[in-house]
Amino acid sequence: MYTLNNIIQFQQDFATNHRQINSFIFAPTSEFDSLEQIKYPLLLVDVESCSQKEQEENFVFRVIICDQIKPDLRNEQDVLSDCKLMLNDFVAYFRQTKFSEYFSIETDFSSDCFTKGFADRIS
C-alpha cells in the first residue's frame, strides 16, 4: 500500500520529468494566490477527499495545470490548449506505468478552463 507521501512523490516525479512543467506544488488550492516564486507552467495538486474501505484507499485530487498569459490575453488559447495536453499526459502517466497495478484512475474526469488575474496572470 502506498502512503499519501508516496503518491505526492509520484506526482512530483511526473512534473520533474515532464518537458513542459517547470514547478510542482502540493498545497491547498485556496492558498494559490499566496504562492511565490513559481516557474510556469505549474502543476499544483491538492487532496479534496480520502475514503477508506478495508484494504482500499480512495483519494480525490484537485489537479491544476496552468501557465502565464500575456496581459492582452493574446496567448490564452495556446496556454489553455497546452495545459490540457499536459493534463492528458498526467492521467496517462498513472494509467500506463507501473502504477496501474496499484492505482486505478477514474475513466471519466472533468476539466475546467479558467483565466485568473492573480498576482500572476494565468490560465
Q: Could you report the per-residue pLDDT of 33-44, keeping only the tens digit for each?
A: 666 778 899 999
The structure's pTM equals 0.85
- Cα 90 to Cα 38, 51, 72, 78, 97: the distances in Å are 19, 22, 29, 18, 11
- Average the pLDDT over 109-122 and give the result: 76
The C-alpha atoms of residue 25 and residue 43 are separated, in whole angstroms, by: 6
